Amino acid sequence: MSAPVYNFAYLDEQTKRMIRRAILKAIAIPGYQVPFASREMPMPYGWGTGGVQITASILGPDDKLKVIDQGSDDTTNAVSIRKFFVKTAGVETTTKTNEATVIQTRHRIPEQALTEDQVLVYQVPIPEPLRFLEPRETETRRMHALSEYGLMHVKLYEDIARHGHIATTYAYPVEVGGRYVMDPSPIPKFDNPKLSDSPALQLFGAGREKRIYAIPPYTHVKSLDFEDHPFEPYRHDAQCELCGAMNSYLDEVITDDAGSRMFVCSDTDFCEDRRAAGHHGPQGGPAAAATKEESAHG
Amino acid sequence: MYVAVKGGERAIDNAHKLLADARRGDRDVPEVSLDQIDNQLALAVDRVMSEGSLYDRELASLAIKQARGDLIEAIFLLRAYRTTLPRFGASEPLDTGAMDIRRRVSATFKDLPGGQVLGPTFDYTHRLLDHTLAEQSDVEEPATAPAEAGRFKSVAELLAGGGLIEDDDPPAGDVGDLTREPLSFPAKRDLRLQNLARGDEGFLLALGYSTQRGFGRTHPFAGEIRYGEVEVEFFAEDAGFAVPLGSIAVTECQMVNQFTGSANRAPCFTRGYGLVFGQSERKAMAMALVDRALRARELGEETGAPAQDEEFVLSHSDNVQATGFVEHLKLPHYVDFQSELGLLRKLQAEFHARDAHTETPIQDAAE
Ligand SMILES: [Zn+2]
């Protein structure tokens, strides 16, 4: 029983070709979910296998990879995925958004605008935006084919009737290039505006559900809404305590048993950059690059 | 002062070291060997090979050891390894009629050619904890009898002669492989059977059981269950004929199900089929029940029970997929949770503001 030798970026070349074909088809039909023969990866389904397979298929030896989860490079699963590619592809990694050529993400779009030289790879749990309205794949595929999206509008309208707002705060459905309704993955709706007309290629991989879809660069992406109830991006009534940012997505941190809380940027690279540039919030000293070593007891 | 948390990488490394330590346990207790797992936990190895879709006892034993006896984790390990293997093609159909039988029972005929062979089975044992096994056991050699030569037709084959049971000619063309092509619906029977063979034993058991309790009743008889070794052959293009690759142990179940007929089909018995690696009658029988239940639409029967719902069954049978997605809830979701918190606070504020403006009559206490 000798240890197996794995190909560059783990997947064999034949599998990569199959995935690249699915990616090309996805780019050709923006927002359309392309079925692909998702492989069983050495990490669990639901933990980013779709994103990992896309990244493995597009990664070259000269790429620089950034992996984030919840906007942070240091969350456990982001660390695990980054290590996987360091081990299997030996590529350079970075936490700097502007230095990365490929960024794999779960649940966030970086605050800093992306460029034409970058690809953003999303990990997707449930690719079907209609899934919780209609559980059957046979039905939802038909609905997409016929652009039959009335059910989705009814759902959003019912929210307004009941709550006065659309009560979807993440995985907020979008229409891509005027045709397919698409699930942008569970990003907060705060991030939705960044999906549209992005210079970067955006690829979405759902491993367990075996689907790949894409938003090509400079594609118009519209968050679903109504004329009298236009899409409202989420706003925090707070600023980052560390860097003072007023316009970034914030994590709420509970700081004591009495329930005291504070807000800090979810995008850790963005926050660090701002502090390095001299910005600071109520609690962040200038260039507070000081970081705490988590007590590493596992 | 609050500072961003770092150090995830070191924490992960340390967690893995702790796992290795827990796996090994008390160093004074001898370490379990792969041979011991293979020989003495053979049915666990069988299950891991079956649902892991890879017939390799040594690797399955390794997976069980690595997984600390968590069989779904072991199945996952074997699957992930299997993905990296080259695929040469499909074998010739197994001839289970030519099986080297270790066990064979029929519930439909008292006796039949080849006879009933009980083999190694828990059936008819009294489920009393055997305390003699707590110590080193001294097991006597089993009784043996010379194997009967020849090919034992299955009950389904025996019935086929009289036209009492539906034909079961395999469709022409290549068999599908859902590990190479994504499954789509409706799925053909080859893919359904592949899905069920890889499916979680507990899930299929519950579904099969539900059909017996009336949720998609199939009127089953265990026509035959057999377990033993069969030869696997592969058609070699170069040689121009099928060459034997070796033999594997499988359990096969042929259910014989009542069928009342439809507008264009005379009443006859129908089939449900189960086949798994190694010895697992529970899984093979459950698989056969579910296979038959999934044929309801094809046979023009009433549908609507969970076990008859192809998309429901096939989409949820895989325990590697299921465990991944259920357990992914452990991953951080604080970005989305934050969005929900924000909305909830807003809705509550609006609710209370509205409440303060409307005069609510005092409710009658008796209401
Ligand atoms: Zn900040």
Size of the A and B interface in Cβ pairs below 8 Å: 189
**What is the pTM (predicted TM-score) of this model?**
0.89
Average pLDDT, integer, range A55-66: 97
Active site includes A298? no
Most confident of B70-79, B85-94, B134-143, B292-301: B70-79
* Tens digit of each residue's pLDDT (9 = 90 or more) over A136-164: 999 999 999 999 999 999 999 998 888 88
A74 with B334: Cβ contact below 8 A: no
- Structure tokens given for A143: 């609905």
Is A281 at the interface with chain B, CB within 8 A? no
Catalytic residue among A205, A207, A243, A284: A243
pLDDT at A255: 87
What is the biggest distance separating any 2 CA atoms in chain B, rounded to whole angstroms? 92
Residue in A162, A169, A249, A267 to test binding to B, most B beta-carbons within 10 Å: A169
Does pLDDT of B255 surpass 60? yes
Which residue would you say has higher pLDDT here, A198 or B236? A198
- Structure tokens given for B217: 């009743």
Is B124 at the interface with chain A, CB within 8 A? no
pLDDT band at B10 (very low <50, low <70, confident <90, very high): confident
pLDDT at B109: 86
Which among B80, B184, B342 has CB closest to A35? B184
Is B8 at the interface with chain A, CB within 8 A? yes
pLDDT at B367: 41
pLDDT at A221: 98
Q: Which of A200-209, A278-287, B37-46, B216-225 is least confident?
A: A278-287
Does pLDDT of A287 surpass 80? no
B4 with A271: Cβ contact below 8 A: yes
**Chain mean position to CA A143:** 25
* Tens digit of each residue's pLDDT (9 = 90 or more) over B240-250: 999 999 999 99
Give A231-234's long-range contacts (Cβ < 8 A, gap of 24+).
A231/A166, A231/A172, A231/A189, A231/A192, A232/A165, A233/A189, A233/A190, A233/A192, A233/A193, A234/A169, A234/A188, A234/A189, A234/A190, A234/B339, A234/B342
pLDDT band at B174 (very low <50, low <70, confident <90, very high): confident
Mean pLDDT estimate for chain A: 91
Residue in A40, A223, A280 to test binding to B, most B beta-carbons within 10 Å: A40
pLDDT band at B360 (very low <50, low <70, confident <90, very high): low
pLDDT at B292: 97
Which residue would you say has higher pLDDT here, B113 or A45? A45
Is B340 at the interface with chain A, CB within 8 A? yes
pLDDT band at A222 (very low <50, low <70, confident <90, very high): very high
Does pLDDT of B366 surpass 80? no
Question: Is there a contact between B152 and B254 (Cβ–Cβ < 8 Å)?
Answer: no
Average pLDDT, integer, range B86-108: 90
Active site includes A240? yes
pLDDT at B186: 92
pLDDT band at B237 (very low <50, low <70, confident <90, very high): confident
pLDDT at B363: 47
* Tens digit of each residue's pLDDT (9 = 90 or more) over B300-330: 888 999 999 999 999 999 999 999 999 999 9
Average pLDDT, integer, range A80-96: 95
Average pLDDT, integer, range B342-354: 89
pLDDT at B88: 85
CB atoms within 10 A of CB A105: 24
